[in-house]
A and B are shown apart, each in its own frame.
Chain A
């Protein structure tokens, strides 16, 4: 099966080198998944987003090296040699780029002042906050959800709940006081 496939590719390559553009288009289309398989097999050394770039580089190299194909020799070793070389080039390029660049981590310290580095702290407090809101009385919990979490206006929240604006303000104030007290404890 693989031998027949290789023989087909060889015939297409020979026709393409004679100037048959249809055969060349077919050859490149049939080669693309083969090349992709070869490149994906090296995914350990290559970044996942680099695979398609390397596939395109291999196709470009095949185009540039058409004259080096010897009709008396099998096609697949010729193809694999080019693909392997381009993968090595890509891995080297990736290593060089990696040596020059520092990965950006948005959870690391961004400013000197401790107050500005609250990302980690927020992640911890989110669970506590969610728990504290859940323990609020229904009216207060509803007021917080609508006004603070969904960011509704007082009028919208009033229309949604049937409570007056004043009652919502009171419920929100009490809820905030309770939450502040509970979170301070934790």
Chain B
């Protein structure tokens, strides 16, 4: 900057207005989840062609998998909110690893089960573009809402924060892709490849965008001259 520090301080003081502190991260996460859950419900209702099949899904693994995906999304959103508050522990971004581990564990168990029941054919991934499309559509609003909300924080780790936002949206949208489809996935490997693949792609794209969305100011206020 080409101005003196005292001059900068004067500019900052002149720009100072009363500031409303941000709501606690847990409250912001709850608000985000309420908005996102409403959106996910609407998308599932619109996309679902046959909901009668859920009455026949007795195996709790399916529902635990969905619960783990939702928990991953919520934990990632909470971690993202915490990552934009200076002075918080650097370990908060690891929060989603617990539900994500459960989710991956269930998928791993499903793959082993498919393998023992169907042999090598059980480890093949079928093409599942509709799932990827449903996930991208489902993730768009939760990710956008979260990114806008996160901009009011401090961009301490822009790429990590944005990747967490991508994980949050991807976790929730995975539920849409599982619940809204007319038939169950042929193999668990299909879920692994298409859901996790789409999730990683979402995270990567959002992380790249985050670099440009979460930035510190480079000029003092009213320094356009």
Contacts and interface: CB of A to CB of B under 8 A. Distances in A.
Contacts of B55: none
A116 interface: no
Interface in A106-139: none
B25 to A, nearest CB: 10
A61 B1 contact: no
A82 B87 CA distance: 8
A65 B16 contact: no
Contacts of B1: 53, 56-57
Nearest to B16: A24
Interface in A55-98: 55-57, 59-61, 63-71, 73-74, 77-82, 85-86, 89
Interface stretch (B5-13, B70-78, B94-102, B127-135): B5-13
A60 B12 contact: yes
Contacts, number: 98
B194 to A, nearest CB: 36
A19 B16 contact: yes
A21 interface: yes
Contacts of A64: 154, 216-217
Interface residues of B, number: 32
Interface of A: 16-19, 21, 24-25, 28-29, 32, 52-53, 55-57, 59-61, 63-71, 73-74, 77-82, 85-86, 89
Interface in B170-225: 216-218, 220-221
Q: Of B18, B86, B220, which is in contact with the most chain A CB atoms at under 10 Å from its CB?
A: B86
Interface of B: 1, 3, 5, 8-10, 12-13, 15-22, 24, 84-88, 152-154, 156-157, 216-218, 220-221
A94 to B, nearest CB: 15
Contacts of A59: 5, 8-9, 12
A60 B217 contact: yes
Nearest to B85: A68
A60 to B, nearest CB: 6
Contacts of A56: 1, 3, 5, 8
Contacts of A86: 216
Q: Of A18, A85, A89, which is in contact with the most chain B CB atoms at under 10 Å from its CB?
A: A85
B159 to A, nearest CB: 12
